[in-house]
Every structure is written in C-alpha cells, then in structure tokens.
Amino acid sequence: MEKRQPCMQGFLLCLILSVLLQGSLSHARSDAYTINCSGFHLNGVDPAAFQPVFDRKAFRPVINSSIPTLVNISFTLSAILDVDAQIQLLTSFLWVNMVWDNPFIRWNPEECGGLKKISVAAKNLWLPDIFIIEFMDVDQTPPSLSAYVYSSGRIKYDKPMKVTSICNLDIFYFPFDQQNCTLTFSSFLYTVDNLLLGMEKEVWEITDNSRSVIRTQGEWELLGINKATPKLIVGSSLYDQIMFYVTIRRRPRLYIINLLVPSGFLIAIDALSFFLPAEGGNRAPFKMTLLLGYTVFLLMMNDLLPPSGTPLISVYFALCLSLMVVSLLESIFLTYLLNLVTTQPPPMPRWLHSLLLRYLRATDCYKKRPQKETKGSGPSLVHLPGLMEPVVMAAWVPGSSETSPNGDPGSKRLPLESSAVNLWRKFCHILDSLLFWLYLLFMSSSLITIIALWNS
Ligand SMILES: *[C@@H]1O[C@H](CO)[C@@H](O)[C@H](O)[C@H]1NC(C)=O
Ligand SMILES: *[C@@H]1O[C@H](CO)[C@@H](O)[C@H](O)[C@H]1NC(C)=O
Ligand SMILES: *[C@@H]1O[C@H](CO)[C@@H](O)[C@H](O)[C@H]1NC(C)=O
Ligand SMILES: *[C@@H]1O[C@H](CO)[C@@H](O)[C@H](O)[C@H]1NC(C)=O
C-alpha cells in the first residue's frame, strides 16, 4: 500500500496530462480544414488529403465571404524586348509573383517530419485573376505551372509573362529619349470588397532585382520603377490596382555613330569648302557632290529612324540638308557674280563704292599695323597709295568712258577697267566671307539649339 501511493499520484498526473493533451489535440482536430499530413514524409503526399481543397478551387478561398482576399504582388522585369514607336507598344518579359492565403489549407509540420511546403499544380488551386490593364496580346503563360503551398495556408505563385503593353511613346528626343511606360496590375473581376492588392516587395527591391537580372545589352536600359496605387472606378464598382511606372532610356551610341557623326562631318566639310577659291569654279561642283553624298547617306540611314512622328533628329537632318543647299546656292550666285564683274563690270553704285573703300582702308590699316611695327612704315606707305589709286580712278570711270570714244588711247582705259574689276572682285570676296560668317552663325546657333533641346 505504501508503495502504491506515489504510483497512484503519478497515474493521476498522467491522466490529467493525457486528458489535457487529448483536449488540445481534439481542439486542433476540430478545425475542419486541417489536413492530416501524417505519412506524407514516408509515403509522399496523400492526394485524398488535399481533395477537399482541390474541390473548392472554383470559389474564392474564404470562410467569411465578406472578408476580402489580400493578394500581394511583385514582379521582376527580366528583359526589354522591343519598343515599337509606330504602334506604341512596349514588349517586355516579366516574372510575376503573387502571394495570398488559403484558409482551407493548413497542416501541422511536426506531424509529418517538418514538411513546411508542398508544390501543387496551379490548375488545382484557385488563382486570383490579376492582369495588366495595358496588356495588348493574348496571355502566353505556360499552362502547367505549379505553386508552393505552405503549412500556414500561404500560397506562392510565380509565372513568367511576355507582356506586350501599350505605352505612350514620345520620340521627339530620339535618340536621346527616355520613355515612361505604365504597367497596371488589377483584378479583372473582383472589386475591393473581394480582393485587395498589396506589395510583396518594395519598389526599390523590384528595381534592383530587375537591374541585376536584365542581361541584355540591347537598345534600352532600365532607369527605375515607381508605383502608385489609385483605385479604379468603373461605374459603381471600385477596383484595387497598383500602377508601376517603368522608366527606360535608349542607349544612343548606335545612332550617334551612324547618324550624328557622319552628318556632322559632312556639314563640317561643307562649311570648310567655303575656303576653296571662289574663282576657280571648283567650289560649286564640290558642294554639289557633298549634297549628293548627303542625300545618299540619308536614304541609307532612313531605316534607323523611327517610322512615325517627327523627332528632333529629322529636323536636324533637314537643317543640315538645307544648309548645304543654301551654301551651294551661295556658291552658284558668287560664281555668277564673279563671272559678271570680270566680263562686263557694271557701274558701281556710289554708296557701295565709298562703303567698300572705307572698309578696305580699315581692314588694310588693321592688317598692316603689325607689319609696320616689324618692318617700319615703308611697306604700308607704299601699299596705301596703291589702294588709293583705284579709288580715284574708279571715281573717274564715267568721265573716262565719255572720253574714250573721242579717240583717247586704250592704254589709259585698260588699267581703269581692271581696277574696277578688281574692286568688284574685292566686293565679291567680302560678300563671300560675309555670307560665310552668316552661314556659320546660323549653323552654330541652330545646332546649339538642337543640342540644348536634346540635353533638356
Ligand atoms: C491521420 O491519418 C492516419 C492514417 O492515414 C491515421 O492513423 C491518424 O489517426 C490520422 N490522424 C488524425 C489526427 O486524424
Ligand atoms: C464576417 O465578417 C464580417 C466583417 O468582418 C463580420 O461583421 C461578420 O460577423 C462575420 N461573419 C461571421 C459569420 O463570422
Ligand atoms: C501582404 O503584405 C502585407 C504588408 O506587407 C502583409 O501584412 C501581409 O501579411 C501580406 N500578405 C500576404 C498574403 O503575403
Ligand atoms: C511617369 O508618368 C506618370 C504619369 O503618367 C507620372 O506620375 C510619373 O511621375 C512619371 N515617372 C517618371 C519617372 O517620369
């Protein structure tokens, strides 16, 4: 009897403990949605245990239907495949991740060797109908994907998606453009009463992941991703949505090398060809050849330009072309003028004459001054009267022309004429350089304007 007493006490303790345990276990078992996972770690997952869950897949998995399902989403932008400015489409590749809770799935990992997650074919589960509003293509998601189901009922579903989305593309700044495309994730059917969207990752995390995943060194570079979460109102229904603003920038190297540099060289050569002598008659053919070359260049490079819209670069090309045409016209005009004044010099208007003289005197003094300092006053004194002479003589041209028919020797008329021709020729050169400076001024100002626009 004395020996039994501790045993009885122990028995009572055991009984109480077992009753307590039993109670807690039965309480756990009373939860109708707990899956009996014993044997999963030995014999594999029992399909029968999951059958009740699979049977419910047609319905949104909630116990109280007035509680909305919270779906957290994120994505990784793994490639930017194409940006089509003509039909305003951005083609990209996304890995979309979705996470939500299914209250009908639950098991105790300790009952089955610490099994925490199981992969289940996604077609057996309820899936949220999240889509991208800008999506303009049929969904090419592979059909047989799986989802991870966690012991707490959390479901993680990832799917790859080739997204052809509509995007408002502005190619004005081509090739230095950057585009801001929107990807709006929203439910097709469920309003805010039934489905809410959340973020699975922060936006900076999405941006960093995408940057490290994008391996393509293609034309486009990911600059950043931002988000906004305005609700979408359609009629009387309110839909939850998350908008991601994907900012991408074009890598302009190809276009700089193939379009801007050759064009710049051609226009530089065109400007430099003003230094060819105007008299030789070489300048106009040279410019004509350049113009022809530029036209061929434009024809060949047309494929590189965006097929629609008027980017600034087209304006730039048109400007280069018109500058070339204008300089060619200038050369033709100058050749004509030089030809005219050497064969039959028209009388020079008085105002032009005095203006020209004043200018020549000014530039001559300006030019001679440095020489004066080195060589003394000799050469300038010699030269200045030489310049004065045509002035005086040209002023006498009308008088001399009257006297020449009277039988004056032609030997006196010849230097008079040649000096007039000389003066005209000087005028042509001055006009040439004046037009050249005007051309340079216009070219540089318009180029600077265009470059400033590109930089902005
Ligand atoms: C789980 O199922 C096994 C048989 O597969 C059964 O022996 C065990 O009692 C069940 N456990 C519970 C808690 O229902
Ligand atoms: C369902 O949820 C709503 C709101 O949370 C609550 O008012 C209602 O009592 C719940 N119904 C049941 C049966 O639990
Ligand atoms: C979704 O995210 C929110 C906030 O980050 C978090 O509280 C919630 O548990 C998440 N839900 C799911 C299903 O992941
Ligand atoms: C992209 O566009 C949206 C509106 O269309 C704007 O709110 C957002 O700030 C823009 N993002 C960038 C980086 O420009």
Ligand 2 binding pocket includes 64 (Cβ within 6 Å) = yes
- For the segment(s) 255-369+385-394+412-455, the CATH number from 3.40.1160.10, 1.10.390.10, 1.20.58.390, 1.10.3980.10 is 1.20.58.390
The CA distance from 105 to 169, in Å, is 45
Is pLDDT of 123 > 70?
Answer: yes
Q: Which of 173-187, 271-285, 295-309, 375-389 is the most confident on average?
A: 173-187
Token pair of 381, please? 């004194």
When mean pLDDT is compared over 13-17, 191-195, 211-215, 390-394, the highest value belongs to 191-195
pLDDT in tens, 156-200: 999 999 999 999 999 999 889 999 999 999 999 999 999 999 999
Percentage of the chain exceeding pLDDT 90: 55
CB 195 within 8 A of CB 71: yes
pLDDT for 395-428, tens place per residue?
343 433 333 344 444 444 455 567 888 888 888 9
**Structure tokens that stand for 370 in this block:** 């440095």
- Whether 386 shows a pLDDT value over 50: the answer reads no
For residue 23, CA distances in Å to 30, 209, 253 come to 10, 48, 74
Instruction: Give the separation between CA 113 and CA 128, rounded to whole angstroms.
Output: 31
What's the pTM value of the predicted model, to 2 decimals?
0.76
Give ligand 3 pocket residues (Cβ under 6 A). 70, 72, 99-101, 154, 198
On the question of pLDDT at 140 being above 60, the answer is: yes
Q: Are 72 and 200 in contact (CB under 8 A)?
A: yes
Ligand 3 centroid – CA 157 distance (Å) = 14
**Structural fold of domain 40-251:** Acetylcholine Binding Protein; Chain: A, (2.70.170)
Looking at the chain, which residues constitute the CATH 1.20.58.390 domain(s)?
255-369+385-394+412-455
Instruction: Please give the sequence-ordered ranges of beta strands (E in DSSP) within 172-251, or none if there are none.
Output: 178-187, 195-199, 220-228, 232-234, 237-239, 241-250
pLDDT at 353: 86
pLDDT higher than threshold 80 for residue 258: yes
Cβ neighbours for 105, distance < 8 A, ≥ 6 positions apart:
33, 35, 50, 53, 149, 153, 155
| Comma-separated ranges of CATH 2.70.170.10 domains in the chain | 40-251
Ligand 4 geometric centre to CA of 213 (Å)? 23
Q: What percent of the chain has pLDDT over 70?
A: 81
More confident residue, 63 or 401: 63
What is the whole-number distance in angstroms between the Cα of residue 39 and the centre of ligand 1?
9
Backbone phi and psi for residue 330, each to the nearest 5 degrees, phi listed first: -60, -45
Mean pLDDT of all residues in 134-139: 87
Residue list, ligand 1 pocket, CB within 6 Å = 29, 36, 38-39
Q: Are 76 and 160 in contact (CB under 8 A)?
A: no
Q: What does the pLDDT look like over 77-99, one tens digit per residue?
A: 999 999 998 899 999 999 999 99
Residue 209 φ then ψ, to 5°: -60, -45
Closest-lying ligand to the alpha carbon of 181? 4
Give 218's pLDDT tier (boundaries 50, 70, 90).
Answer: confident
Residue 31 above 70 pLDDT?
Answer: no
Mean pLDDT of the chain, nearest integer = 82
Those residues whose C-beta lies under 8 Å from the C-beta of residue 42, and which sit 6 or more positions away, are 113
> Can you tell me the distance from the alpha carbon of 266 to that of 257, in angstroms, rounded to the nearest whole number?
14
Contacts of residues 261-268 at CB distance under 8 Å and 24 or more positions apart, as own/partner, are 262/297, 263/294, 263/297, 263/316, 263/317, 263/320, 266/290, 266/293, 266/294, 266/297, 266/320, 266/324, 267/320, 267/323, 267/324, 267/443
Q: What's the mean pLDDT in 439-445?
A: 94
pLDDT-derived band at 378 (thresholds 50, 70, 90) equals very low
pLDDT at position 415: 57
Q: Which helix (H) or strand (E) holds 155?
A: strand 154-166
| Partners of 99 in beta bridges | 72, 156
Minimum-distance ligand to the CA of 35? 1
Going from the Cα of 42 to the center of ligand 1, the distance in angstroms, rounded, reads 14
Closest residue to atom 4 of ligand 1, CA basis: 38
Asked if the model's pLDDT at residue 48 lies above 80, the reply is: yes
Residue 130 near residue 71, CB atoms below 8 Å: yes
Alpha carbon of 180 to ligand 4 centroid (Å): 6
Q: Assess whether pLDDT exceeds 50 at residue 104.
A: yes
Q: Can you name the residues that pair with 119 across neighbouring β-strands?
A: 148
Mean pLDDT of 386-395: 39
Provide residues with CB under 6 Å of ligand 4: 180, 226, 245, 247
**In angstroms, what is the span from residue 161 Cα to ligand 4's centroid?**
23
